[in-house]
A and B are shown apart, each in its own frame.
Chain A
Amino acid sequence: DGGITQSPKYLFRKEGQNVTLSCEQNLNHDAMYWYRQDPGQGLRLIYYSQIVNDFQKGDIAEGYSVSREKKESFPLTVTSAQKNPTAFYLCASSLADTQYFGPGTRLTVL
């Protein structure tokens, strides 16, 4: 099956800990994205990557970091510097201007 996978589906973290969310795609898309979704709000862009070994900050990059060592993978690290990390995180990849989304990871900080 082709698609985008995110793991884990649910993640719990203690305050002060870093945590890494996984995103993998086998669609052979060059570009990948990370979004954050809060209740009652649309999606906000955290980081995006147009090509391997390159990535750009989105609108709300503070407290987050990414890497893009392989075309298929775009992991997101939520650092302890992120003041309000509890949210639903969505990964996407794109072909031209159409984005395709993974199932999401719900992160809860305890």
Chain B
Amino acid sequence: AQSVTQLDSHVSVSEGTPVLLRCNYSSSYSPSLFWYVQHPNKGLQLLLKYTSAATLVKGINGFEAEFKKSETSFHLTKPSAHMSDAAEYFCVVSLPYDMRFGAGTRLTVKP
């Protein structure tokens, strides 16, 4: 069995300040890990993916995530938030045909 927990349901930052969205996972195997972003009334867009090639994964729009096996974490970061980053973010743990989504973290960016 596998599961994922997003530790914050809502994160609020000011424009230009760093973003940290936290994710912990549980899996009996070596899963793939993903971050997706969803803007209101839209589908999910893939931000980045971890597949064991490197622990620090760079994604689109300046986001990156670090895989820490000892902490079973896969936190998403961005050095400087932009207004367009305001959205819902989902952490996902995946084995073939078994994808488990976190409950989501809503990111608010204040001007």
Q: Interface on A for B, CB 8 Å cutoff? A: 4, 6, 31, 33, 40-45, 48, 50, 56, 88, 90, 92, 96-104, 106
For the residues of B in contact with A, the DSSP-based class is strand
Residue from B9, B32, B42, B43 in contact with A97 in the complex, judged by beta carbons closer than 8 Å: B32
B44 contacts the other chain (Cβ, under 8 Å)?
yes
B90-A97 in contact (CB<8A): no
Q: Interface on B for A, CB 8 Å cutoff? A: 9, 32, 34, 36, 41-46, 49, 51, 90, 94-97, 99, 101-104
**Across the interface, which residues of A come within 8 angstroms of B96, CB to CB?**
96-97
With both chains docked as a complex, state the minimum distance between the C-beta of B59 and any C-beta of chain A, in angstroms.
Answer: 13
**Across the interface, which residues of B come within 8 angstroms of A33, CB to CB?**
99
With both chains docked as a complex, state the minimum distance between the C-beta of B104 and any C-beta of chain A, in angstroms.
Answer: 6
* Bound complex: CA A73 to CA B110 (Å): 41
B99-A104 in contact (CB<8A): no
A to B contact number (C-beta, < 8 Å): 51
B43-A48 in contact (CB<8A): no
For the residues of A in contact with B, the DSSP-based class is strand
* Bound complex: CA A92 to CA B99 (Å): 11
With both chains docked as a complex, state the minimum distance between the C-beta of B88 and any C-beta of chain A, in angstroms.
Answer: 10
* Bound complex: CA A99 to CA B45 (Å): 9
Residue from A41, A45, A97, A104 in contact with B104 in the complex, judged by beta carbons closer than 8 Å: A41
Task: Please name the residue on chain B nearest to A3 by beta carbon.
Answer: B43
**Across the interface, which residues of A come within 8 angstroms of B97, CB to CB?**
31, 48, 50, 56
B99-A99 in contact (CB<8A): yes
With both chains docked as a complex, state the minimum distance between the C-beta of B57 and any C-beta of chain A, in angstroms.
Answer: 13
Given contacts A40-B104, A103-B42, A104-B41, 6 further A-B contacts (CB under 8 A): A4-B43, A31-B97, A92-B44, A98-B46, A101-B44, A106-B41
Q: Which has the most chain B C-beta neighbours within 10 Å: A43, A48, A88, A92?
A: A43
With both chains docked as a complex, state the minimum distance between the C-beta of A16 and any C-beta of chain B, in angstroms.
Answer: 27
